[in-house]
Structure 1
Amino acid sequence: MNNEDLRTAADTVLSRLVGDPAARLRGDQWRAIEALVADRRRALVVQRTGWGKSAVYFVATALLRERGGGPTVIVSPLLALMRNQVEAAARAGIHARTINSSNPEEWSTVQAEIGAGTVDVLLVSPERLNNPDFRDNVLPELAAATGLLVVDEAHCISDWGHDFRPDYRRLRTMLADLPSGVPVLATTATANARVTADVAEQLGTGGHPSAPGSKEGEGALVLRGPLDRSSLSLSVLELPDAAHRLAWLAEHLDNLPGSGIIYTLTVAAAEEVTAYLRQRGHIVAPYTGKTENADRQQAEDDLLANRVKALVATSALGMGFDKPDLGFVVHLGSPASPIAYYQQVGRAGRGVEHAEVLLLPGKEDEAIWQYFASLAFPSEDQVRRTLDVLAAAGRPLSLPALEPLVELRRNRLETMLKVLDVDGAVRRVKGGWISTGEPWAYDSERYAWVSKQRSAEQEAMREYVRTTGCRMEFLRRQLDDEEAAPCGRCDNCAGGRFSAEVSGSSLDSARDELRRPGAEVEPRRMWPTGLSAVGITLKGRIPATEQASTGRALGRLSDIGWGNRLRPMLAPDAPDGPIPDDVAQAVVEVLADWAKGPGGWASKAPDAMPRPVGVVTMTSRAKPGLIHSLGARIADVGRLPLLGTIEYAPGHEPAHVPRSNSAQRLRVLDGALVLSPELSVALKAAEGPVLLVDDQTDTGWTLAVAARLLRRAGASAVLPLVLAVQG
């Protein structure tokens, strides 16, 4: 078939895919398909969201399958988009299947279908690439049979990208195992010149990011187009505080076009915003990393069908949603990177002429950026310690077995191991992780550069808010778009479209919502596994007679209500001092609601807990005055005795209690906390529940260890009461 006939066949497939007999491929879409199908080359496509990158690989798949090619393998991190793409493929007569974390019950069936040759497209999540069974048993056969490899959201490969994922680096192995002549397509909507060059290198595609396309015989075809989205109208609205932002949303949400997405920076904020907007009569649904998979799918379906006005989402929705008529994207809080921001706003306006994009920055944004920055690649000492532990073990160690031996939390430890796996220093096998014994160098210069780049991106987001120039041009320049020019549509180009005014009633309602104190503090009920590795004999379930009860906190540090008030007060460098009156009064309100609630000591329930008989405070190196004054205020208001303080044993006061994993935290706490003789006597005499007061809780283990001491000393129940819950 000559290229003219191939073009005709490609347009025919496209018309089936989009349901439009008149549909024709764009010039660069055809150039990419021609390179993949006719020339069996590798191509890197950097084009804006909505340009039609998925059309390239679906059309190429259909043409290659007609010529006897094997199935297309699409590696994508986007579970939501996978569901969209399975449906889209079916419209073009392409049978697509997925293997990802949400459908393990289907894996064996899918693998059998692949073996039978009935699958045209297999969508695989990147973490599958380093699953031992998949990597060793499925991947080699799949690589041998693959007709086309597609790397979607390819910026995830790059350390310099805004969404680096170490699992993606496994693709180098798959590329090396591909038979000669198998075409490869990498796609992304958000890659600046540095990321584009790095992705090309990682994929072995070569080429230069500034080139419009390489010549025959010079490696990959690199297609990089302008990133303007003519449907998007960008705006920034700076409001005084979180209450104004909530009130603005409640009053103006119905005026935004169609249905859309409201992004927040934290799970707690998403939950707050969802609850408040529902209270004000808006039909919205949450979508976060804590949302169950079935609820996520329902939320996606409801938005696609316009049954909800908006999803209130964290970056868990991120790149992975395809709704062409999405009418707006609002950010309640600024992302830390203009590239990540452009990626998220690119969900809007793909199939409509006009979509609103609005940023409502908050004062808490910077603190949230700092928190996520603290989760960067661990220090060299922590990495070396992990490698030494694995080398000494002489056998595979699972994450739960390894975690007690290093000062890293589970998610951070797993990410580090994946990077080390890519670098060849460790390997994931059945049963856990092993050391390969290969030499490994800590690339401090690279990690420092990445950190510096993150700081530069944060400054760029501050500048985006401040700029008086074109906002779309600003974002395009951040992505090294050489065709960037004023858009004529944003608030700086065309004038502001949104008033900052909100009614007094809405503002009062939002303030009341954000001032509403109280969050539950779930107690620890099981000791973590692997404590024997750090010399602690505790294991299994914590006896009911030694557990804390469900406690209360004034708020979460990550929320936009009390979190904004508590965060600066509890910061490590904040001065110690008596509890402020407004905070103390809010804690009293929490106590009053707690007492009257189900099972509370002031409720009429037959199983109501007896009234607390006293107050016990926790010792603190950083905030002793704050905690003592809080305990004293509670005791005074409740007419309860202040029984005493749980102290550190002499010689056991830690320089710091590591905010790492549970086992390491317990290692420091074990034997370190004691009750004074006076407190022990007071507890036995009191014979009842006690309130245990602290400034904040993170892992919950300090409260658990303290509660165990108090219960053993005679307290019939321990009711933790803290100002803030971390996270």
Structure 2
Amino acid sequence: MSIPATESDTATRALEVLRRLTARDDATFHEGQLEAISALVDEHRRALVVQRTGWGKSAVYFIATSLLRAQGAGPTLLVSPLIALMRDQVAAAERAGVRAVAINSANAHEWDDVRARLAADDVDVLLVSPERLTNPRFREEQLPELRQRTGLLVVDEAHCISDWGHDFRPDYRRLADLVDSMPEGVPVLATTATANARVVTDVAEQLGGDVLTLRGSLARTSLRLGCLTLPTSRERLGWLLDHLTDLPGSGIIYTLTVSAAEDTARLLAEAGHAVSAYTGRTDPDERVRLEEALKTNELKALVATSALGMGFDKPDLGFVVHLGAPSSPVAYYQQVGRAGRATESADVLLLPGHEDADIWHYFATASMPSPSKAAAVLGALGTEPLSTTALETRVDIRRTPLELLLKVLDVDGSVRRVQGGWVATGQPWEYDEERYERIAAAREAEQEAMLAYERGGTCRMELLQRQLDDPTAEPCGRCDVCAGPWYPTEARADSVAAATGALDRVGVPVEPRAQWPQGADRLGVDVRGKIPPGERPETGRVVARLTDLGWGGPLRELFAPGVPDGPVSDELLTASARSLRDWPWAERPVGVVVMPSVSRPQLVTSLAEGIARLGRLPLLGRLDLADGAPDQTSGGNSAYRLAGVWGRFAVGPELAASVAETTGPLLLVDDLVDSRWTLTVAARELRLAGADAVLPFALAAVG
């Protein structure tokens, strides 16, 4: 129940700040907002606020900050997950008359000024990422003093604290230690819009003490939900070509992979739609520009991966479309919550794909720590710091999963990040099999719930609310289950044809490796620095990436586990010929060389023979396997991947003679490109044998 402004000084002063924040003289609090502010300001409590997107959680902590600072409290420490979210939070704080600054990886040039302002008590809110708390310099030089001065600790997107949260980030788990280390009497606020009862319980336990939980209805009455199942990606893209302009205002088109975002954005842009791709590969400065372009309606849509998520705030966002479903209703609720925050109506449509489950499986297992890999990391670390780069030469783990594993081990206390790298603490680490099995089971259940959402047996908003354990869940009366489809269900034949043409494009460049990986010499490979130009391949080509919307599907089926070896299909051979026809090489190849394959010899040989026949090129021969089969196990880091293929290929006498007799580039044919080290080493052997140039070609590339 709201507290009348006249009943307390806190209420009166809070209402003044709210009206300054909103620039409206008639603004009033939503139910629960003033209760949360009073709990922090008057009672110095620990509070967990679970409220729908757009309810005004940021208003709670900015108003509480303003009132606490007026009482003489120190600055608020706000842990925020994304740089884009920090930008919006800083802008919102300014509107409330709150001085907010951020420390993150994108503004290192401002850190000295931020520290000076903190020392001068000229900062009301300091925003940091959870990862910043692990930075040795910040943790040792700045955090102790800041912790003693903190007037309020805020953990935004607090579902990330929980292992059960849909966006689990190990660094969030250390926030329980930060909360425990706060001086007595410092109020703590955790906020989220995407937490079911299990996550709420987990977060409340980690906040500790007597936690006040304020939970409201998660229904989003402005959203009109729908789900349209179309047979293929051609029909889904054709639907977008036809109906994107019919969707209200500007919005977001979410995809599950980077390549799908790029392909979709290119297709729509070529058809005249004002769209751009926004992914994890997008340059940080370009992200800022694209976000602003969408906010000012210069763009109809951003075609984005989850890189555009919690950090983006456009109150009048008119629609959200998903090309492919997220793996859980909770994640879906969080993403569609970008729309309709300050509008009476916004359209939300899901266009699920048959390939979704494969993508879900990959991401569901990517963040789970492996006992064997954890043991390898702990065995490699000692008391002398090792950088991540140096550690890569001692353990066969790629950079991204290695960094994630180190964070898990750090949070669990077995390793510690210090100046110069990582050290082992001596504390043993045990794989909590029961815990990770529970997480895996929960994620499988969430995937099943997402499939139930797609089937549409119940009101779509009600299903999302029930997945979030919202006791107020009831039929919305607006979605396509309650009121029937509000969207066109078909695409015109010419639009499907245009999408088909775009998806049928072939030929993706494969850039050559230019640098030998650090630490290769530790693994018996005596190379370092730049790869000499005379030993490198040229830029290569594949028909498509396995993650592509078009040819990615047939290629994923071809390379799926358990599929037997066999000759290349006429369809893929024709696609290969088209890739070669459109290849902008400086000089046409003069001969074809076959890569030796252990797993798919028929496929590679038939592909090379077919290309030679269609291109009227001589088939010069096959590289020999030397010293046993190459170790091409997917997943290792560059140093280990190079060591696995180093010295494994040789140019035999007959092939050497053929190479010596040719003048011009050679086409080196393989089936699948992953790390590029196999082709790099094989091309090097051909170059050393006298080849003028080597043009690598394969059917597919991973990623």
TM-score per shorter chain, which class?
over 0.9
Give runs of aligned pairs for residues 56-71 of structure 1, distance below 5 A. Answer: 56-71=60-75
Range moving further from structure 2, 343-352 or 661-670: 661-670
Q: Pick the aligned partner of 1:223 from 214, 223, 226.
A: 214
User: SS at 1:433's partner residue?
Assistant: strand
Distance in 1, Cα, partners of 2:572 & 2:409: 46
Q: Are residue 684 (structure 1) and residue 660 (structure 2) matched?
A: yes
Partner SS, residue 555 of structure 1: strand
Partner residue of 1:518? 507
1:477 equivalent in structure 2 = 466
Q: How far apart in 2 are the matches of 1:715 and 1:4?
A: 85
The verdict on how the C-alpha distance between 1:533 and 1:377 changes in structure 2, with shifts beyond 3 A counting, is farther
Amino acid across the alignment from 1:337:
S
1:616–1:691 Cα contact (<8 Å) kept: yes
Query: What pairs with 1:105-504 in structure 2 (closer than 5 Å)?
Result: 105-205=109-209, 219-391=210-382, 394-504=383-493
Correspondence 1:535-554 to 2 at 5 A: 535-554=524-543
Are the counterparts in 2 of residues 140 and 177 from structure 1 also a CA contact under 8 Å? no
Tell me if the contact between 2:631 and 2:644 (Cα under 8 Å) persists in the aligned partners. no
Distance 1:669 1:487 in 2: 59
Residue number in structure 1 paired with 2:680: 704
- In the alignment, the residues of structure 2 paired with residue 46 and residue 272 of structure 1 have an alpha-carbon distance, to the nearest angstrom, of 37
> What's the CA shift for 1:442?
1.3
Question: 1:210 is matched with which residue?
Answer: none
- Structure 1 distance, partners of 2:630, 2:577, is 31
Q: How much has 1:687 moved relative to structure 2?
A: 3.4
Tell me the residue number matched to 1:653.
629
- CA displacement at 1:655 relative to structure 2: 6.3
CA distance in 2, matches of 1:305, 1:658: 44
- Cα deviation, residue 99, structure 1: 0.7
How far 1:244 moved relative to its partner? 0.9
Deviations 1:266-296 (A, max 9, x none): 1111111111111111001211100001110
**1:155 and 1:188 in contact (8 A); partners too:** yes
1:642 has 2:619 as partner:
yes
| Contact 1:234–1:356 (8 Å) recurs in 2 | yes
How far off is 1:674 after superposition?
2.2
For 1:77, the equivalent position in structure 2 comes to 81
Equivalent residue number for residue 628 of structure 1: 605
Shift of 1:583: 1.4
Per the TM alignment, residue 163 of structure 1 is displaced from its structure 2 partner at its CA by 0.4
Q: Secondary structure at the match of 1:405?
A: coil
- Which digits, 9 at most, give the CA deviation of each residue in 1:314-359, with x for residues without a partner? 0001211111111100000111111111100011111001111100
Instruction: Report what 1:39 is aligned to.
Output: 43
Correspondences of 1:663-678 after superposition (within 5 Å): 663-678=639-654
CA distance in 1, matches of 2:560, 2:485: 37
Paired AA for residue 315 in structure 1: S
Q: Indicate yes or no: 2:95 matched with 1:91.
A: yes
Shift of 1:376: 3.0
2:34 to 30, 33, 42: 30
Maintained 8 Å contact 2:324/2:356: yes
1:558 maps to 547
Q: Which amino acid aligns with 2:265?
A: T
**Corresponding residue for residue 618 of structure 1:** 595
Question: Once the two structures are superposed, what CA deviation does each residue of 1:656-685 show, in whole Å capped at 9, x if it has no partner?
Answer: 534221111112112222222222222112
Worse overlay, 577-586 or 715-724: 577-586
**Cα distance between partner residues in 2 of 1:468 and 1:176:** 45
**Structure 1: how far apart are the matches of 2:261 and 2:429?**
41
CA drift of 1:103 comes to 0.8
Name the TM-score, length of structure 1 as normaliser. 0.94
Take 1:321 and 1:622, find their aligned partners in 2: how far apart are those partners? Answer: 45
Identical residues among aligned pairs (%) = 57
Write out per-residue CA displacement over residues 119-148 of structure 1, whole angstroms, 9 at most, x where no aligned residue: 111111111110111111111111111111
Distance 1:136 1:377 in 2: 29
Alignment-derived partner of residue 4 in structure 1: 8
The answer to whether the 8 Å contact 2:278/2:305 transfers is: yes
Segment drifting more, 154-163 vs 373-382: 373-382
Helix, strand or coil: the match of 1:181? coil
Q: Distance in 2 between matches of 1:202 and 1:726?
A: 39
- Partner residue in 1 for 2:694: 718
Q: Residue deviations 1:484-507, cap 9 Å, x none?
A: 111111100000112222112111
Moved more, 453-462 or 303-312: 453-462
For 1:201 and 1:374, locate their aligned partners in 2 and report how far apart those are by CA, in whole Å: 26
Post-superposition offset of 1:364: 1.5
| Contact in 2 for aligned 1:144/1:177 (Cα 8 Å) | no
Stretch deviating more after TM superposition (1-10 or 94-103) = 1-10
Structure 2 residue 568 is matched with structure 1 residue 584: no
User: Does residue 1:570 correspond to 2:555, yes or no?
Assistant: no
1:572 and 1:622 in contact (8 A); partners too: no
Structure 1, 12-21 or 528-537: larger mean CA deviation: 528-537
Given that 1:658 and 1:664 are in contact with CA atoms closer than 8 Å, whether structure 2 keeps it comes out as no
| Conserved 8 A contact 2:6-2:12 | no
Q: Give the CA RMSD over aligned residues.
A: 1.4
Alignment partners' CA distance in 2, 1:408 and 1:670: 18
- Partners of 2:19 and 2:195 lie apart in 1 by 29
- The gaps in structure 1 that reach 5 residues or longer are 206-218, 601-607
How many pairs align?
Answer: 699
Residues 634 and 674 in structure 2, CA contact (< 8 A), matched pair in contact too: no
The 3 A distance-change label for structure 1 pair 586 and 656 is closer
SS at match of 1:442: coil
**Paired residue secondary structure (2:568):** coil
- Which AA in structure 2 matches 1:130? T
Distance across 2 between alignment mates of 1:692 and 1:654: 17
Q: Give 1:204 shift.
A: 2.0
Residues 351-409 of structure 1, C-alpha deviations (whole Å, 9 max, x = no match): 00111110001112122112223413232111111101103xx4111111001211211
Helix, strand or coil at the partner of 1:584: helix
> Partner of 2:622: helix, strand, or coil?
strand
Cα deviations by residue, 1:89-144 (Å, 9 ceiling, x for unpaired) = 11111111111111111111111111110011111111111011111111111111
* Matched-pair contact (CA < 8 Å) for 1:364–1:560: no
State the 1:621 CA deviation.
2.2
CA distance in 1, matches of 2:166, 2:172: 14
